[in-house]
Amino acid sequence: PLSLLLKASPLIDELSLFDVVGTPGVTADLSHISSVAKVTGYLKEDDGLKKALTGADVVVIPAGVPRKPGMTRDDLFNINAGIVRDLITGVAETCPKAFILVISNPVNSTVPIAAEVMKKAAVFDPKRLFGVTTLDVVRAETFVQELTGEKDPSKTIIPVIGGHSGETIVPLFSQAKPAVNIPADKLGPLVKRVQFGGDEVVQAKGGAGSATLSMAYAGYRFTESVIKAAKGEKGIVEPSYVYLPGVPGGDAIAKELGVDFFSVPIELGPSGAESAQNILSSVSSEEKQLLEACKTGLKGSIDKGVEFITNSSGAK
């Protein structure tokens, strides 16, 4: 679904696909669509990853296995961490200046993994590495619309900060623009629904899949924002999970929070993350409590990602 949305985007000149199976069929199918992007596809054989990444300006990584019922976070981590490590190793070798958009879960750990791989290769640019948390924003916009009645949910801007799983997701409804009036008895359930929206989809699919269509939309939306900003469009701000000390304005936020990786509203531009916006001073008392739980969860996830690369013998 993500490749279909990207193929339809007029901003994309070339779409290069890579997967371990099925890429030739998807490529042939997409290539019949009458849009601007030229489509190529590669498998692992014959140096496929290198060919797919050569000349890339933006690399979007949705790779990995989805969470299935009964699967622990550790199970998910061990599989996806290795996949992300190997793909980022390819990026470091082939297109180190590309914008890297990491969708693969658990994002709270896979983005630190990507950063460590790029650091080891001495090509890490924090302004070009993004954890895609847009699905949390999309869910917040959509779910609050059921209370506000706004015809177009995307017209309500709701910052969602923190991480990208469960209690690390902190939607700041107090800072919605335009302001939204949420009854006190509805706020808690609304926050929980945004935090655990993924579980809702897994259960509705009877364990046969996770959020793929809404995630594809969110990934496409963030990718388009990055490309528009890279082409010079001004005023584009999107929450994203970044390495704060490496982004202008981010170091102070990292010190205040006690974590280096965190999602805050990021002003995007030609060099990527132009600045991190500190909106912590105006959070509500309820949101402060959510932030405490978020920080505790994030620290462990970040450490886990860093340790995975420290203890790893490198890409296989």
Q: Catalytic one among 128, 139, 164, 193?
A: 164
CA angle 145, 151, 154 (to 5 degrees): 65
Query: Counting beta carbons within 10 angstroms of the beta carbon of residue 260, is it exposed (0 to 12), middle (13 to 18) or buried (19 or more)?
Result: buried
**Distance, CA of 235 to CA of 224 (rounded, Å):** 14
Reported for 289-294, long-range contacts at CB under 8 A and 24+ positions apart, including other chains, are 290/162, 290/167, 290/170, 290/191, 291/161, 291/162, 291/170, 291/257, 293/167, 293/168, 294/161, 294/162, 294/163, 294/167, 294/168, 294/169, 294/170
Contact 103, 132 (CB under 8 A): yes
Alpha carbon distance 138, 154 (integer Å): 7
Residues 6+ apart with CB under 8 A from 162: 168, 169, 170, 262, 263, 290, 291, 294, 298
Handedness of CA 77, 80, 86, 89 (dihedral sign): negative
- Cα separation of 33 and 23, whole Å? 16
164 is catalytic: yes
- Nearest to residue 273, comparing CAs of 301, 302, 314, 238? 238
Residues labelled catalytic: 164
